[in-house]
Amino acid sequence: MADERITLSDAKGRRHSVRLREEGVFHTTKGGIPHADLLGQPEGTVVTSVGGAEFLAFRPLMHDFMVSMPREAAVIYPKDAAHILMQADIFLGARVLEAGVGSGALSIALLRMIGAGGHLYSYERREEFAAVARTNVENFYGAPHPAWEVRLGDLVETIGPEEIDRAILDMLAPWECVTAVAERLVPGGVLTCYVATATQLGRTVETLRTHGGFTEPESREYSARDWHAEGLAIRPGHSTSGHTGFLIFARRLAPGVTAPRKRRRPAPGAYGPDYHGPRPPWVDPLPEPVAAPEVEPDAG
């Protein structure tokens, strides 16, 4: 139907996102394809350009939309979004806080999981990012989603009073928001942090340990690799999605309960003088510096 977005795939697997118009034409190097050839047709239709090139037409899957939609900020890719949905246990009707809406890719996935009966509170500092996210979400769902609320501003300064079941922090310094989120997260709730570098990973994990109100954080990264299979030629494909970010998961403890101590001692030097992050309570503090003894001048 008109104004609907579809995906056209050519013989080499290249995908093109097209919004259908009554008088529109999709132009290719092999000639144009009138949109009228697609309007009213079922999914899985093959259309041929004026120059004889064939294209397969489908409505886009969420994966297709997320990787091809307009963006102002980097998106959480489908391989990471899928693990967030599963490991954070996003459920129908959940109250979810998301900080760092970016271009709205994760928001699209979260809204499908929580449904109209849930609530997604998305915090974003930059108005231009929030505007792009709103457009992408509305384009995917066809209208504003009834369970979505976008709030502009710093999370710590603008966080609402609502209790939440799940929280996802996708930002440069998630450790700065741990205390604010912990005050709203229900016991048993899941906190997920998405960071890009190992330095951010370490700082976030140590802050969660020092806070004491969360379980021992679990840190992971995921990669995805295509495979080519044709006859006896079975081998890894050329397209691989490697490191995109680290995922950190921890669960909120009951009020007044502190996290149990780690069973293993940290590696020697793990919290030495070069470490400047938070120190867990079970780690011995650094010794006070000892002043060098005064040396009396030589009388000779």
Question: DSSP letters of 251-298?
Answer: EBPPTT--PPPPSSPPPTTTTSTT--S---TTSPPPPPPPPPPP-PPP
Q: What is the pLDDT of residue 181?
A: 97
Number of structural domains found in the chain: 2
- Structural domain harbouring 48: 5-60
- Does residue 170 sit within a domain? yes
**130, 178, 136: which is closest to 155 by C-alpha?**
178
- Does residue 283 sit within a domain? no
Same domain for 202 and 153 = yes
Same domain for 166 and 54 = no
Q: Which residue has the tokens 């309960």?
A: 257
Same domain for 158 and 39 = no
**What CATH number has the domain bearing residue 198?**
3.40.50.150
Last residue of a domain, one of 21, 44, 60: 60
- Does residue 14 sit within a domain? yes
- Does residue 150 sit within a domain? yes
Same domain for 99 and 210 = yes
| Structure tokens given for 180 | 């604010």
**184, 178, 171: which is closest to 95 by C-alpha?**
184
Same domain for 71 and 49 = no
Same domain for 100 and 230 = yes
Rounded distance, CA 200 to CA 215, Å?
Answer: 19
Same domain for 51 and 79 = no
Same domain for 104 and 32 = no
**What CATH number has the domain bearing residue 43?**
3.10.330.20
Same domain for 75 and 36 = no
- Does residue 135 sit within a domain? yes
**What are the pLDDT tens digits along the chain (300 aa)?**
677 888 898 888 888 888 888 888 888 888 898 888 888 889 899 998 888 889 999 988 898 888 888 888 888 889 999 999 999 999 999 999 999 998 999 999 999 999 999 999 999 999 999 999 999 999 899 899 999 999 999 999 999 999 999 999 999 999 999 999 999 999 999 999 999 999 999 999 999 999 989 999 999 999 888 898 989 899 988 777 778 899 999 999 998 888 777 666 667 677 777 777 777 766 766 666 666 666 666 655
Last residue of a domain, one of 226, 251, 276: 251
